[in-house]
Structure 1
Amino acid sequence: MYTLTNPATGELVEEIENSTDDEVRDAIERVHRGYAGWRRRTVEERARVVARAAELFAERSDELAEIMTLEMGKRINEGRGEVGVVVDIFNYYAENGPALLADEPLQLASGPAVIVKQPIGALLGVMPWNFPCYQVARFVAPNLVLGNTILLKHASICPRSAAAIERILHDAGVPEDAYVNIYASSRQVPAILADPRIQGVSLTGSEPAGISVATEAGKHLKKTVLELGGSDPLIVLDTDDLDATVKATATARMRNCGQSCNAPKRMIVLGELYDDFVDRMSKHVADFYQPGDPADPATKLPPLASTSAADEVAGQIEKAIRQGATLRAGGHRIERPGAYLEATVLTDVTPEMDAYYEEIFGPVVTVFRAEDEQEAIDLANDSPFGLGASVWGTDPERLRRVAEQLEAGMVYLNRAGGSVADLPFGGIKRSGIGRELGAAGIEEFMNRKAIRL
């Protein structure tokens, strides 16, 4: 079942039967057949359709935000903000697609050649629940401009987002056989990847899901892009306004109720600032992040996406405390209907504890002490993940020096997380394979065909 349960109340709203195996096979045939026609359109024609999709996303922003609030508890204003980023992504590829796909002349030692940039076929997208519209946009916008077609399996708690996105794309002029939404189950994904008509897969999700999909794709030599978990470090070197730094870093961590892959999950603070930082962060989190209805713009702490998600994070906190971590604020499920969890601050987490290495996907700030710059860098890099990182301070040269030593796909200076359409997004280590957004995002499922003239 695709099951819509309101995480703010626990109320079951809707259930949708999974697509049957026959329906999945029919959907694969449709996107395979649709590829023949979609790829033959000029890049300018495809870009115009994608530009129209941007307009429709903007027009339907309130509707989409309300759906996300109902499905996964996103604060209504954050939902509107997410749709704004989606509009930017579709506009970026609509405006820049023709230039990004222009032929690339080469002058070899033995004579001229050219690289022509072409699509590769029908692709599978496996999308997560934490950003129901944005994650889809990152994958879909560049590939539609490129000329690939899309079979989209969304998260099982996001059936209405999935349907609304498909409706927008078809209303914008994407042929019905060029983008097909399916309510497939996880058990059906291996058969989809085994089908020779599917040429690649993009997944955003958990590390176990990425391993499973990559294993199946590898068996069949399918191109794979994976954006998986993260335990991003945030290093505070110095500050001339500690209260502002605490507020800004807490805001970055608590965005989307802490359910962002590239949120700053490990805050590493130099010794002379550490005690004050922890005290002020604990007070700020306890005072500011109070629970409420995510549909109310005044709410600061929405529910997590599901009861199971809230229970999992609460269990991680409890285990960390049992293993010796210090609870500075929050740490408990909130006694009210829905998937609410107190905003939490943990300190004294050591490498012997599970919380040191694992990702905590919720409103939890973990603060570490470093005695100097090098120890901060070493702490930041002591992780199986390598998605994003951030460095905060007042000296631009020092910020750049530290950033260059961090093992991550993205590093932000005096800001944390976030995403913009023209900046490549992706990680290293166990945070994934490949890049999305920017010029790099349109090249992952591209045939860069060399023609020797």
Structure 2
Amino acid sequence: MKSNTIKSINPFNGELIKTYELFTDKTVENTVNKAHETQQDWKLLDIEDRTELLAELSDTLLKNKQIYAELMTNEMGKPISQSIAEIEKCMFLCDFYETNSEELLSDEIIDTEAEESFISYDPLGVILGVMPWNYPFWQVMRFAVPTLMAGNTVLLKHAANVSGCALILQKLFEDAGFPKGCFQTLLVNHNQIESIIADSRIKAVSLTGSEKAGRKIAEIAGRNLKKCVLELGGNNACIVLNDADLDKHLDTIVNARMQNTGQSCIAAKRFIVEAGIYDVFLEKFQKKVSSLKHGEPLNSKTQITVLARPDLADDLQKQINDSIEKGAKVIIGNIKKDAYFAPTIVTNVTPGMPVFDEETFGPVAAIIKAKDVDDAYELAANSKLGLGTMIFSKNTNDAIDRISSIEDGAFFVNELVKSDPRLPFGGTKNSGYGRELSREGILEFTNKKTVYVSK
């Protein structure tokens, strides 16, 4: 028997935060209809009037920063300092689109034989966002803000374990002055999602989540001829070459794997280290990882804490143990208790092992020894996923020359892969398709309409 409720449980102490009632079919219908009706007026609003609301949205984020941060920390276990940083990043996003939306959405003039010809970027309508729990505010905001600025309205289906964040996000937009119906949260189960996507008033879907979820959403969207943007999993390579400046970049390299307790699609998961620096790197990396401060998520000094759910820790340990059976060696970690999983370093890793081939969603670093530079790039490219690759080397010219050897959606030199409102974000291969953020993101859910005016 299926439950008509969902529960938000603190992963650190196992305590129930709140129980929420799922929306009935009638409530879903009313919510979708409200989004559709609101969009009819919202799309006609001058872009300057829409962007003015982003200033208030940013101010509301600032005013409630601690409240929002504590809520996400309690719901999914993120260290509080990182939750606060997430809210601040959302403010940066608002500021970017407040400044740039009008220019990004301006008509593109095309010189033809016509008296006037141009591309008009018109909104599609109501857009459904299906979002994950690992960055409960940022993932939603980076989808919703450009989508709203383009003249669409937004429906959010958030991960069940962060339902409190989902509802407070709707209140955030309404408190900032967005008309009711611009941004609404749907508390629904997976079975209800299919009928929502099929609704003629829903024009497109954006999903950030697992490869499995992406395939399912793409299947439903395709069957209903709906556009979708998919940002799925990753097992990003971090290439460390012999000439890398470890003293300068080691903190960045460790953070690339261990931020958000390793629960990031764009985290460095495979560390491909050139043979000449391998031993030194492993020693320094292990020392730095071992020094990370573990503790209660609401403690400002905590760097490593629990995973978002106990089953995630179970999945992670299975991936490691299956890799051990194939010859991998655990240097530190592989210790689990409830939702806690200790930072883990695995060596002797080769293709064919889960920790090489799959996404490991937690604080697990797979270390692979590369014979030389060419071998390092070949190992990095050996993946069915394609979110991003990072390279640490003093020879930046050589790194740039090798950009085309990596098919990923991002290529970062001497920096960890990260999202930035000014730059497009998305993947290739089994990491999905479409782009968020920047100009590409704000145009994803627009009708690129050809306008031709003859004399």
- Class of the TM-score when normalised by the shorter of the 2 chains: over 0.9
Is 1:93–2:97 an aligned residue pair? yes
Q: Where do residues 208-223 of structure 1 align in structure 2 (5 Å cutoff)?
A: 208-223=212-227
Distance 2:331 2:176 in 1: 50
Unmatched 5+ stretches in structure 2: none
* 1:69 maps to amino acid: T
Q: Where do residues 119-134 of structure 1 align in structure 2 (5 Å cutoff)?
A: 119-134=123-138
Partner residue in 1 for 2:282: 278
TM-score normalised by the chain length of structure 1 = 0.96
* Equivalent residues of 2:387, 2:426 under 8 A apart: yes
* 1:20 maps to amino acid: T
SS of the residue aligned with 1:447?
strand
Identity over aligned pairs, percent: 38
* 2:382 maps to amino acid: D
Partner residue in 2 for 1:139: 143
Partner residue in 2 for 1:11: 15
Write the deviation string for residues 409-448 of structure 1: whole angstroms up to 9, x where unpaired. 0111101122211110001000011000011100100111
Partner residue in 1 for 2:443: 443
SS of the residue aligned with 2:110?
strand
Distance 2:49 2:293 in 1: 48
Write the deviation string for residues 149-174 of structure 1: whole angstroms up to 9, x where unpaired. 01111110011111111111001111
Partner residue in 2 for 1:366: 366
Write the deviation string for residues 364-392 of structure 1: whole angstroms up to 9, x where unpaired. 01111111111111101100000011111
* 2:300 maps to amino acid: P
* 1:451 maps to amino acid: V
Is 1:225–2:229 an aligned residue pair? yes
SS of the residue aligned with 2:270?
strand
Cα deviation for residue 26 of structure 1 reads 1.4
Partner residue in 2 for 1:327: 330
Partner residue in 2 for 1:299: 302
* 2:224 maps to amino acid: H
Cα deviation for residue 83 of structure 1 reads 0.7
Partner residue in 2 for 1:200: 204
Q: Where do residues 331-350 of structure 1 align in structure 2 (5 Å cutoff)?
A: 331-334=334-337, 338-350=338-350
Match 1:60 to one of 51, 60, 64: 64
Classify 1:100/1:352 alpha carbon distance in 2 versus 1 (closer, same or farther; 3 Å). closer
Partner residue in 1 for 2:119: 115
* Equivalent residues of 2:236, 2:268 under 8 A apart: yes
Distance 1:343 1:277 in 2: 17
SS of the residue aligned with 1:74?
coil
Partner residue in 1 for 2:407: 407
Distance 1:380 1:109 in 2: 49
* Equivalent residues of 1:238, 1:394 under 8 A apart: no
Distance 1:186 1:219 in 2: 17
Distance 1:312 1:25 in 2: 37
Unmatched 5+ stretches in structure 1: none
Cα deviation for residue 79 of structure 1 reads 0.5
Cα deviation for residue 112 of structure 1 reads 3.6
Write the deviation string for residues 214-263 of structure 1: whole angstroms up to 9, x where unpaired. 00000011010000000001111234643443332111110000001101
SS of the residue aligned with 2:340?
coil
Write the deviation string for residues 104-143 of structure 1: whole angstroms up to 9, x where unpaired. 1111256641111110100101010000000011111011
TM-score normalised by the chain length of structure 2 = 0.96
Partner residue in 2 for 1:166: 170
Q: CA-atom RMSD, angstroms?
A: 1.3
Is 1:375–2:375 an aligned residue pair? yes
Q: Is 76-85 or 320-329 further displaced after alignment?
A: 320-329
Distance 2:212 2:445 in 1: 23
* Equivalent residues of 1:291, 1:340 under 8 A apart: no
